[in-house]
Each structure stands twice: as C-alpha cells, then as structure tokens.
Amino acid sequence: MPISQELSDAQCEERIIAAKAKLGKRLVILGHHYQREEVFKHADYAGDSLKLSRQATQSGAEYIIFCGVHFMAEVADILSTPEQIAILPDLAAGCSMADMANLDKVEQAWQELSTMLNPDESVTPVTYINSAANLKAFCGQHGGIVCTSSNAKKVLEWSFNQREKVLFFPDQHLGRNTAYAMGIPLEEMVIWDFDQPNGGLTKQEIQATKIILWDGFCSVHQQFQPEHIDQYRATYPEGKVISHPEAPFEVCQKSDVVGSTEVIIQTVKKSPVGSRWLVGTEVNLVDRLAKQSKVEGKFVHYMAPVVCMCSTMYRIDPQHLLWVLENLVAGNVVNQIKVDPQDAEQAKLALERMLVVSS
C-alpha cells in the first residue's frame, strides 16, 4: 500500500473528508457495526452486512466502499448493479468463522451424506451470510438458502418445509440457538466435524437428526461464558443480559434477550433510564453503545472480562480507507471485489430466496 503508515488518524481524517467531498454522490461508504470508531465515523450508512448492501444498491452510487470484511463486499457486489463497483479497503479483512467452511469441505460433506441418504431430496443447505460467495452459490444450486442472525428462524422454517433436514454452516451456535428456540430438541442436532470421515457421525445418527450443524464458530462470541453472566448478576441483580445468537448455547440460555446486532441496539435504546445491560457481542459495538447509553442515563457492560478483538474485522483503518479514496479521486480503482459471474448468479438465487422468506 503506497500510503505511509506514519500518517496519523487525524491527518487521514482531513484527507478522507476532502476525498469524499470530491467524489460526492458517486461514492457511498458502508460501515459495519463492528468497525473501529476511527473508520465507522466516515460511513454514510451503518448496520449489518445485508442491510448495508441493500442500501448501497439503492443509493445508485458508482463506488461502494465496504468497511467490513471480504464476504460483506462480495454480497455488495452480488446485489449491486453491473455498473456499481464494490471495494474492500484491506483485502486481508476476512472472517475466521467464514473460513471454517470452504467449498471443498462442504462438497465433500454433501458427497458423504449421499452415501447415507439422498441430500438433494432430504437436506436443505443453509449458509449464514458470514460465508464465501461460492458457498452461497452452492446453496443456490442445491435448493438452499442464505440466512442472517435476524431472519434465521424464518429461513429454517422455510427450509424444513422444503426438506426434512438442514445442513447449517458455518456457525454452529446460530444454528443451535435458533433451532432450539423453534422447539427442536438438542437430541435432534448433531455436529458435523469436517476433519472426520462422514463428519464423525454414524449413519444412524445422521438419519435420526433434524439439523446437521457445521463445526464452526466466531472466535469473538465463543469467548463469552455462563460464569460471566453469573458474576454480573451477583453484582447487579437488577441488570439485564442480551447476547448475540453467535454466542454459545449456555450463554444464550442464561440471557434475557438473544438477538442480532440491530436487536441489541434497539433493545438497549428502548430500555428505560437507569437500565443496566450486559452485552455479549463484538467490543467496538458494545463500546459505541455504552457511550451513547451513558448520555441517556443507562449502563452497558461488555460481557467478557478480557477483550478479544476480531483481528480481521479490525484490519480496516483510516490509512487504508484514505488510500482507496484518493485512488478513486485520481481515477484508479483499487481492491475491487468481483465475484465470479456463475457463482454470483447462483448466490443471488439463494439470497433472493432469503429476501422473499424474510419480507
């Protein structure tokens, strides 16, 4: 990257504002809730990945800069028009959870399932939006669908109406927490260990199960533990607990509310003055929510005693954002994210199924 890393955030901020002004309506910057504040402040739209991609498409902007991670920029490219260009300021900004499921492993699982049952007749593949475009395409090809943390229940209901079982990847926790809330017992859920033949499962286990959960997780949400909630309640017995469904099952069961980032934000915002919340999700969002809530006379605490940053989500900094902006001003497109057309077509099919189901 030609921009000097010695540039301070303050120096970058002035130049970012100037570059945005020059590009005007040709540009839209999307900021995911989990982004660091130094970058988040420059976003024209803030939200979760799907909401942002839809807003960018509707904006009509020529350039879509996604301050998030790789799969988010892919979704923006898939849903945008051919004239729009999706850009990721730092190509190393990925998602460790998304990386836990790749096309080779999923295709291998599908093939192994075919030795025990006919997956194209009995299994609906469901991928969390936190996944690569070719996995969304896989779901499109096999009658499957994409879900988000906010519409997972509706998506699973649709999926079970199509076929009797679901293969859910890459996040086991979202799948388990959602399915359990729908009344599916834990005994009818199994973990597919992608490093073991047949997922480490017997034919009888697979035939008896309702939902096959991929052995993947978010490292940030995995750190939250039930004892963190116990300690909080011992200190603040009147306090409430809210967790993201990517958190472990035991954590969600001890929480008063479980929901997506948007649910977390809105729940805290709508709570009465004097409310106190323990929040189990990414620390940048929790810090931002804590500052906003303090002004309103509310108290927000981060669930884990030790902060675990999402190293890939944290990669986009003001220096990278400035670099792509000033290149656009100069007429150069850098770090464009372009999904393979065939993958994009099938992935869009799975995404459109989701949009219809969740509307």
Classify residue 284 by its DSSP letter.
H
User: For the chain, what is the mean pLDDT?
Assistant: 94
Tell me which residue of 128, 165, 144, 157 sits closest to 48, measured CA to CA.
Answer: 128
Residue 4 confidence (pLDDT): 56
If you average pLDDT over residues 115-143, what whole number do you get? 96
Q: What is the CATH number of the domain that holds 50?
A: 3.40.50.10800
Interacting residues of 338 by C-beta distance below 8 A, sequence separation 6+: 77, 86
E strands present in the chain:
27-32, 45-47, 63-67, 85-87, 123-128, 145-147, 165-169, 189-192, 211-214, 240-243, 257-258, 276-280, 299-302
Please report whether residue 159 resides in a domain: yes
Which residues are registered as beta bridge partners of 24?
none
Whether residue 191 is found in the same domain as residue 266: no
Whether residue 68 is found in the same domain as residue 178: no
Whether residue 80 is found in the same domain as residue 144: no
Which residues are registered as beta bridge partners of 214?
192
Please report whether residue 67 resides in a domain: yes
* Boundary-marking domain end, from 197, 217, 237: 217
Whether residue 175 is found in the same domain as residue 261: no
Domain extent, residue 118, equals: 98-217
Gap between the Cα atoms of 52 and 71, Å rounded: 13
* Boundary-marking domain end, from 169, 198, 217: 217
* Boundary-marking domain end, from 217, 241, 269: 217
Provide the pLDDT confidence category of residue 47 given band limits of 50, 70 and 90: confident
Neighbours of 37 (CB within 10 A): 12
Whether residue 85 is found in the same domain as residue 157: no
Whether residue 238 is found in the same domain as residue 265: yes
Whether residue 291 is found in the same domain as residue 323: no
Please report whether residue 348 resides in a domain: no
Residue 1 has pLDDT above 60, yes or no: no
Q: Is the peptide bond before 119 cis (omega within 30 degrees of 0)?
A: no
Provide the pLDDT confidence category of residue 35 given band limits of 50, 70 and 90: confident
Residue 351 confidence (pLDDT): 95
Provide the pLDDT confidence category of residue 315 given band limits of 50, 70 and 90: confident
Provide the pLDDT confidence category of residue 310 given band limits of 50, 70 and 90: low
Domain count, the chain: 3
Gap between the Cα atoms of 60 and 119, Å rounded: 40
Whether residue 264 is found in the same domain as residue 163: no
